[in-house]
Amino acid sequence: TLVGGRRRGRWTALGVSSSNVVQGAAAAFGVSAIIVRVQPLFEAVKWAGVGYLAYLGAQAVRSALRGQYQPLDEATSKTRSLAGWRQGFISNITNPKVLVFYLAVLPQFLTPGAGLGWLLALAWGHAVLGLTYQQALVTGLHGARRLLMRRKVRRGLDATTGAVLLGFSAKLATAHV
């Protein structure tokens, strides 16, 4: 939202929620349980997440070091919107903790013998609630965009975001999920 505007932010939120729909369905159909139990497969998801977080962190740090930013404009192409969706989807689908979340939390809200429909409803309900929250966040960030896009503020945000993403990447790499 800060970099690409409201439209890009909305598409990024949609990408995150789309991956929640996929992960929720995977949990409901038992695929997540297989992924978590087959250690090499789970490790592959984990390391994809580590790599993607490190990539995003390095991009943010590089942006902070360069300090060259394009002026604000709301005109975003379909390509930039698709890039926002892709970034949201990939960042969430490669997060192994989301798979574990769906496996650990969703069953607690079901009665014994609940069918697949209830699992899907809970999982997709979570995706819709997440999308609603993220859209509100996009609206709020867009309102603060002029202030936050000042060069000095933006460099600080990029440096902090990059350091945090690199830290998350390192934490995920060393975590025993």
What is the tens place of the pLDDT at every residue in 2-42? 778 899 999 999 999 999 999 988 888 888 888 888 889 88
- Average pLDDT (153-174) is 92
Q: What share of the chain is helix, strand, coil (3-state, %, to 5)?
A: 80, 0, 20
In eight-state DSSP terms, residue 150 is S
- Taking phi over 0 as left and psi of -120 to 50 as alpha, with beta for the rest, 39 belongs to alpha
Q: Which of 49-63, 80-94, 102-116, 141-155 has the lowest mean pLDDT?
A: 102-116
User: In the predicted model, what is the mean pLDDT of the chain?
Assistant: 87
118 pLDDT exceeds 90? no
- pLDDT, one tens digit per residue, over 37-89 is 888 988 898 899 899 989 999 999 999 999 887 766 654 556 678 999 999 99
Q: How far is CA 98 from CA 13, 18, 102, 137, in A?
A: 16, 13, 6, 20
